Structure formats: C-alpha cells, structure tokens
Amino acid sequence: MLLAAPALAQAPATPSQAELDAARSQLRDALADPEPAAPLGPISPATPAPDALAAPARPAPAEPPPPLGPLGDPLTEATPLPAPPPPAAPAAASAPDPQAPEAAPPEAALPEDEPPEGAPEPIPDLAYGAFQRGYYLTAMAHAIPRARDGDHAAQTLLGILYSGGYGIPPNPTESAGWYELAAAGGDPGAQLALGLMYLRGDGVTADPERAADLFDKAAAQDQPDALYNLGLLYLEGTVRPASHEEAASLLSRAAALDNAEAQFALGRLYADGTGVILEDSIAARWFRSAAELGHVPAMTEYAVRLANGKGVDKDEAAAVRWFQRAAVAGDPVAQNRLARMFAAGLGVTADPVEAATWHLVAKAAGLADPWLDDYLLGLTAEQRTLAEAAASSWPL
C-alpha cells in the first residue's frame, strides 16, 4: 500500500488562469523523451510455447528505467535499412458487369492437409498435446522414449520440462543435456535455449563464445530471438566484433519476423543513427509496430513521440491512449507522463485526481517528480483523499 502524503492544514489559493496557462506551457516543454530503457538484454524464454521458444514479456524493473542513451556512436556513413512498410490501402471493389457472362464455378480442390491416397495417417504429437493442456507428466512419459530414439522435437520438449520445472523439480543440468542433443540435431529452438544457458552459466559452465555460436546456428534458420540476441552481441562488441551495421542487419531480420524486442531496439538505432541512417519517422514506425505487439517500453516511447510530434504527426489524444496502456501495464515512466497529461489537460480533459493518482503510483515505483509534488499541494483535501485511495489500491 502506498504511503499517503501528509494532509495540509490549509489548501493554497486556487491558481489564476494565467498561472494555469504558464503551467501548461511548462509541461509541454517538460514532456521530453522518456529516458531510454536500460541497455538491451538477452531474451530469456521462461515459459516457451512448445512449438517455438518465444521470449516472455520483459519483467518490470525494480526501479524506473534510466534516460534513453545512445546505443553507440553514430557512424558517419550508415547504411539505411528497410523501414516497415506502411499498411496497404484496401483495393476498391468494382461493381460487377451485368453484361459479362457468368463465370464457371472453380473446380473443387482437396484440402491442403489431406494426405495423398495410400499415404499413412499422420501420427499425432501426444507429448506436445499433453504439454499444451498442462499434463506435464503425461507429456514427459510420451517424450522420453521418442527422445531416446533421436526425436529432436521430443528432446527439446524435455529440455523445456526440466528447465521450467513443469511437473518435476527444475533441473538445469538435465535440461541442458537434452537441449544439447536437440541442438546437435539442428533444432533452432534448442539452439537458442542452450545458447542462453551458456550465456548465463545456467546448468552449464558459462561460455559466451559457445552461446554466440549457437545463436549463429539458430539465426541461420531465422529463429527471431536468436537473431535478436546475436544482434545485441554485435552491439556490445565483446563476444563478437563490434559492428553497428551487422547488429542493425540482424535486428532488422528479427523485426521483420515480428520480434517486438528487435523492433524496439531497431527503433532506438534509427532514433540515434547507430548503424543506420538517423531518421525519426522510421524510428517512430518501429516503435509503433513493437507497441502494437504489446511491448510496453515501446508504447511509452511511441506515446512520447505522438505528444511531441517527433517523427510522427502530433496527436496528444493518441499519446494519452498509449500512455494509459503502458501505465496500466506497470511502466513508471508512462505513469508519470500520464499524470502530467492529466495535470495540464494535454490531449485529455484536465483531471487533478487522475493526475495525482498516477503520480503517486509512479512515485511508489521509484520515479520522483518534484513538479508534480508541488502540483499535489494545490489539490483540495477531498481530491487528495480520492487520489491516495485510488493509488493505494494499485495494481487493480
């Protein structure tokens, strides 16, 4: 529960219209870019889907993210990468020609998944089916004999079961052993998962070089998370030679495969001109694409750009909507910016209680704002009580 601010013995005088206008002007200037998230980190599949080791949502930071800083020095001659294509306009439907002869009906076609005549019926994957329904011990019972017979998908599933502790105690060493077998057989999901284990030293001795090699193999099969993690290694320049252009190329490939982390990272590269051209409009489009995939920091970044008209047409009302989505998802930066929008009436009807509520929620998460602290002093006792009650019940 949030600590309530001490009640005032006497509320200050209501500000004049001139003071409110001055405050709005100050807020517009203060609504700067959210300070970029901490350095990009590797994707770590905690609860992957059985058919693809997808990265989970980024955990909420213990404290608000520091200001966005450059990911590296801009290159003097950066190679532009393709921007995400704008949505295609739907083709206009044309009216049928009443004089045209009636077209013959198309020939009936067999369903694509119907096996050829005489072919054996496909064998259902009982192990993965049980895993998807939450019957983990049944999944293991079906997977073990198949894995021992060299079935790489079953080996990967056993790696997942042992890694996540599904139905059994977690056993990273056993997990790594099954991933090793599947990775050697060319399974890209196992290669990614094993690479992350070598990167962290989880169940194996830490070996960043081995991790990078495994990411390389999975990336060659267009595994999106492997492309993203490999791109980060080229940005860092420790395990792989530092190359902003190579990093941008890998991140671009992952972004094109709808990897939200890669889209967000690529947006930051275009915003800074690192390894690519400096182009705010392309950065904004990648931020929006990542935001639409549910990437919370991208929602905040895109909202800030909408509020400031940076790389996109200014739209304060749309900015408020994106700030709200990110704020409800728990991003302290979005909560703070949303409080400022409500305080100044930017893109939304001014609402002191909403402004105070979101400020208190963000402040409890560690994001201080002296301006909003002063703003709260101007609220009535009733407004403060309502805001404190709403903030104390966060999250809903």
Q: Is the model's pLDDT at 119 over the cut of 80? A: no
CB-based contact 336:316 (threshold 8 Å): no
Residue 64 has pLDDT above 90, yes or no: no
The whole-number pLDDT of residue 125 equals 84
pLDDT tier, 21 (very low <50, low <70, confident <90, very high otherwise): low
pLDDT at 211 over 80: yes
Please report how the helices 352-364 and 370-377 are oriented relative to each other, as an axis angle in degrees rounded to 10: 140
Contacts of 269 (CB under 8 A, 6+ apart): 71, 244, 247, 248, 251, 275, 276, 283
**Token pair in block for residue 235:** 């940005």
Residue 369 Cα distances to 253, 274, 305, 333, angstroms: 39, 31, 20, 11
pLDDT at 162 over 60: yes
pLDDT value of residue 395: 85
Mean pLDDT of 44-72: 35
| Least confident among 8-12, 28-32, 323-327, 365-369 | 8-12
- For residues 44 and 174, the model is more confident at 174
**Average pLDDT, integer, range 256-279:** 97
- Estimate to the nearest angstrom the gap between the alpha carbon of 120 and the chain centroid: 42
Mean pLDDT of the chain: 79
12 vs 391: CA distance, rounded Å = 23
pLDDT class of 386 with cuts at 50, 70, 90? very high
Contact status, residue 352 vs residue 343, Cβ threshold 8 Å? yes
Residues 72 and 276: their CA atoms lie apart, in Å, by 11
Question: Could you give the CA distance from residue 171 to residue 174 in angstroms, rounded to a whole number?
Answer: 5
Share of the chain above pLDDT 70, in %: 68
pLDDT at residue 23, rounded to an integer: 53
pLDDT of 235 over the 60 cut: yes
Compute the C-alpha angle 138/143/149, nearest 5°: 150
Give yes or no for a contact between 355 and 343, defined as CB atoms under 8 angstroms apart. yes
The residues that bridge with 52 in the sheet, in sequence order, are: 49
- Report how far residue 284's alpha carbon sits from residue 5's, in angstroms, rounded to the nearest whole number: 38
Would you say 188 and 181 are in contact if contact means Cβ atoms under 8 Å apart? Answer: no
pLDDT in tens, 271-301: 999 999 999 999 999 999 999 999 999 999 9
Lowest mean pLDDT among 24-38, 66-80, 167-181, 294-308: 66-80
pLDDT band at 62 (very low <50, low <70, confident <90, very high): very low
Its sign, for the CA torsion 201, 205, 208, 213, is negative
Is the confidence at residue 353, as pLDDT, over 50? yes
Residues 6+ apart with CB under 8 A from 214: 183, 191, 192, 194, 195, 198, 226
Contact 37, 68 (CB under 8 A): yes
Q: Is the pTM of this model over 0.75?
A: no
Q: What does the alpha-carbon distance between residue 37 and residue 290 come to, in Å, rounded to a whole number?
A: 14
Q: Which tops the pLDDT comparison, 37 or 384?
A: 384
Give the pLDDT confidence score for residue 44 in this predicted structure. 43
- What digits encode the pLDDT tens for the residues 66-106? 333 222 222 222 333 334 444 333 343 344 343 444 444 34
Instruction: Provide the pLDDT for residue 65.
Output: 34
Mean pLDDT of 132-140: 94
